[in-house]
Amino acid sequence: MKRFVFLFVIFATVLSACAPNATTQPVPPRQADPATVQSASTAAPTFAPGQFDINNWDSVLAAAKGQTVNWYIWGGSDSINSFVDNFYGKALKERYSITLNRVPVADTVDAVNQVLSEKQAGKDPGVVDLIWINGQNFFTLKQANLLYPDWAQKIPNAKLVNWDNPAINLDFGTTVNGLESPWSSAQFQFVYDSARIKASDLPHSYAELKTWACANPGRFTYVSPAETGGFLGTSFVKGALYEISGGAAQWQKFDQATWDKWSPELWNYLNAIKPCLWRKGATYPKDEAELKSLLANNEVDFSMTNDITGAGTSIANGLLPKTARAFVFNTDMIGNFNYVAIPSNAPHKAAALVLANLLLEPEFQADQILPENGFGLGYAIDVNRVTDPAALSTLQTASTKLGDSATPASDLAKSLVGDSAAQYQNLVEQGWVTNVLQGK
Amino acid sequence: MRDKLIFSPWFALAPVLILVSVLLGASLVYGVAQSLGLMSVIGQNTLSLDAYRNILSGQGPAGGEFWGSLVFSLWVSITSTIVSSALALLVAVWLAERRAGSGNVDTLALNWNLAFPHLVWAVALLLFLSQSGLLSRWAATLGLIQTPADFPVLVRDSYGIGIILHYVSKEIPFLALIILAVLRAQPAGYDLIAENLGASRWQRLRYVTLPLVMPSLISGALLVFAFIFSSYEVPALLGVDYPRMLPVLALRFFNDPDLHARADGMAISLVITVIVLIVAAVSIKKGEQ
């Protein structure tokens, strides 16, 4: 009998541990009373606690006060983690009484899957307030209709963003539609060690790269475009497509015939370079970190990056030698923006909006490009739209402090091209797997 | 009557059985549903066998790799299982022969390896055996090879050598412990009598020891096979992009940005599950005999 009671107690404990604890669950926000909203637009704004109107920024700030914002963010870089905590975390607390809870994820798709599972389990509110998102995961959440709509152009600092720029209002070819707000910009570049290679020996086009690679067999490789962390590889391959086909312009709109015409030549180029690659192209590094460690280990001579600081952030983190430098080809270096998005079931939307707006503040935009701060991506805002003279001069000064390890701004601007239409993304990645990875 | 109920093993196991069947059962049902194309968030509410057709027909992105991955998975799992079983048998027989005294030390030595998580062991192999790894650098320093890149490709190779090395080194102690447990439970007399009757060393191994350990060795080996066949982290770390083992392929498509492609990933997972279940059933049957 005693034994029976004992088992029962254990069983009950286990079960109760599984049951959702009602008191700790966030309470779903009540629907705004139509009368309240109406009076807000006419007279003194009054909102129920936790309620806000996106067009009335004070109501957003009031609703956000005291909230904790759960920011799901790729956690693979210690320097980015501490940048986020030290710059945004502090400012949120001091200025808006918002607590930043940075939730590191190994891969952004984990945050996306969290939101998807919450949706399928009918969990609203969920736990994710803001996601640092890339084009592919943005596509997924947009496809599933799981993003908080129509906010990105309504936050106060949206006026600093050039929303007419197709590189901003299209994310990897998917229309943004106010579903996500930019945080920073990036441009594809190569990284090398100036102690090993003279700047005058660097290749400056895909054709020269092929010559270089086959003169130095095993010393070059690129990130696998097929992997989820392989966006640099995709940019590299698309750049080759641009050069082979004579320019980026025709790839801004999808046309199957153009693809059918040029893709065989792209695979020819990549297969021609394949025997000259590291491990003869039997395998490819799966992300930037892996390629960077190959460069640092002296297994290959080039890495790739999207950082506006070039090699600066990696040098500051001790991942690359101080002699590492960034460079670009003469053209066809794809630039893009990265964004933050709010899931439609986010529990603290107001705080997420405040954070997204804070990311675009000129002072933090200036902080994020400096190599010593550890983030190293470029401006999301258009500097020409900043009217405050002090802020403008901060931004201009910051961009002169990128150091020798960054690609000179004029080279970046000269080589900058936009990404191709969304439909090419899959064609490039799947085609690469079939024709290059699994090919001869 | 009541005592009979309370002391039945099924009753004692009930809490854990309920937990396991609810948690695993629910995920399995959910997995089956998703592999059949059920995904309410994009408005897919009808069942179809498209995902299975995709992967089995060998067409499309997932299907194009499926059969190759299946063969690669079988190659790695079967090779690792056979090699580790054979070596484990030798180790166990050797340890059993010198049974006098040092029994606990032997067991400790075998258990020590079991304490390493697979992930840690795999990273260790990567650090030691990769072309930029410690061994390659030492060899280059000692002048055995000219540059670290001359070191043979032992991890992240197209033949799965790194993965096989990993599993062989991890599973030998596991299987050896199983065999040792059987051998140590037998009286030493069998061996002695055979020796007295003039059996050679090889004959004793073949006609006395092997029949004794075979049933447990086979069920142990089947367990090892099922484990290797369905595990993800080691092939993800030590494998190449192509060919990939099935679990790596499954996760790739389960995380595909296009939600329509995720059913393919789930279908691959369920194929893995079915194969593992068959092997487990055979293993249990063998164990009962």
* pLDDT tier for residue B133 given thresholds of 50, 70 and 90: confident
Nearest CB among A107, A113, A438 relative to B242 is that of: A438
Phi, psi for residue A353 in degrees, rounded to 5: -65, -40
* pLDDT tier for residue B187 given thresholds of 50, 70 and 90: confident
Indicate the burial class of A91 (C-beta count within 10 angstroms; 0-12, 13-18, 19 or more).
middle
Nearest CB among A1, A224, A279 relative to B153 is that of: A279
Instruction: Give the domains, in start order, of chain B with CATH numbers.
Output: 72-244+269-288 (1.10.3720.10)
* pLDDT tier for residue B18 given thresholds of 50, 70 and 90: very high
Q: Which residues of A160-191 are buried (b: 16+ CB within 10 A; e: fewer)?
A: bbeeeeebbbbbbbbebebbbbbbbbbbbbbb
Predicted confidence at residue A354, as pLDDT, reads 97
Residue B258 and residue A433: Cβ atoms within 8 Å?
no
Q: Give the DSSP letter string of B56-81.
A: HHT-HHHHHHHHHHHHHHHHHHHHHH
Nearest CB among B18, B132, B158 relative to A299 is that of: B132
* pLDDT tier for residue A72 given thresholds of 50, 70 and 90: very high
* pLDDT tier for residue A18 given thresholds of 50, 70 and 90: very low
Residue A434 and residue B64: Cβ atoms within 8 Å?
yes
Predicted confidence at residue B166, as pLDDT, reads 96
What does the block give as tokens for B71?
């063969």
3-state DSSP percent of chain A in helix, strand and coil, to 5: 50, 15, 40
* pLDDT tier for residue B46 given thresholds of 50, 70 and 90: confident
Predicted confidence at residue A33, as pLDDT, reads 42
Indicate the burial class of B121 (C-beta count within 10 angstroms; 0-12, 13-18, 19 or more).
middle
Total Cβ atoms within 10 A of residue A391: 18
What does the block give as tokens for B90?
């030798």
Report long-range pairs for A395-402 (Cβ below 8 Å, ≥24 apart): A395/A362, A395/A365, A395/A366, A397/A366, A398/A366, A398/A367, A398/A369, A398/A370, A399/A369, A401/A370, A402/A308, A402/A309, A402/A310, A402/A312, A402/A369, A402/A370, A402/A371
Residue A438 and residue B255: Cβ atoms within 8 Å?
no
Q: Which residue of A has its CA nearest to B17?
A: A11
Q: How far apart are CA A56 and CA A46, in angstroms?
A: 11
Indicate the burial class of B197 (C-beta count within 10 angstroms; 0-12, 13-18, 19 or more).
exposed
* pLDDT tier for residue A170 given thresholds of 50, 70 and 90: confident
Residue B61 and residue A228: Cβ atoms within 8 Å?
no
pLDDT in tens, A82-141: 999 999 999 999 999 999 999 999 888 899 999 999 998 889 999 999 999 988 889 899
Is beta strand A333-341 parallel, antiparallel or unpaired with respect to A180-187? antiparallel
Q: Does A4 touch chain B (CB under 8 A)?
A: yes
Residue A140 and residue B240: Cβ atoms within 8 Å?
no
Nearest CB among B19, B158, B259 relative to A14 is that of: B19
Residue A140 and residue B157: Cβ atoms within 8 Å?
no
Residue A374 has pLDDT above 80, yes or no: yes
Indicate the burial class of B56 (C-beta count within 10 angstroms; 0-12, 13-18, 19 or more).
middle
Residue A6 has pLDDT above 50, yes or no: no
How far away is chain B from the Cα of A8, in angstroms, using its nearest Cα? 9
Mean pLDDT, chain A, rounded, equals: 87
pLDDT in tens, B250-284: 998 888 888 888 999 999 999 999 999 999 898 88
What is the pLDDT averaged over residues B132-155?
A: 86
Predicted confidence at residue A39, as pLDDT, reads 40
* pLDDT tier for residue B218 given thresholds of 50, 70 and 90: very high
Residue A143 and residue B42: Cβ atoms within 8 Å?
yes
ipTM of model: 0.75
What does the block give as tokens for B58?
């060998």
Q: Find which of A2, A9, A10, A120 to mutate to test the B interface (most B CBs within 10 Å of its CB).
A: A120
Residues of A in contact with B18 (CB under 8 A): 11
How far away is chain B from the Cα of A64, in angstroms, using its nearest Cα? 29
How far away is chain B from the Cα of A84, in angstroms, using its nearest Cα? 26
Among B276, B163, B168, B177, CA closest to B217: B177
Please report the number of interchain residue pairs, chain A to chain B, with beta-carbon separation below 8 angstroms. Answer: 77
How far away is chain A from the Cα of B16, in angstroms, using its nearest Cα? 9
Residue A143 and residue B61: Cβ atoms within 8 Å?
no
Q: How far apart are CA A188 and CA A18, in angstroms?
A: 47
Nearest CB among B14, B241, B255 relative to A437 is that of: B241
Total Cβ atoms within 10 A of residue A308: 28
Q: Give the DSSP letter string of B182-223.
A: HHHHS-THHHHHHHHTT--HHHHIIIIIHHHHHHHHHHHHHH
Predicted confidence at residue B288, as pLDDT, reads 73
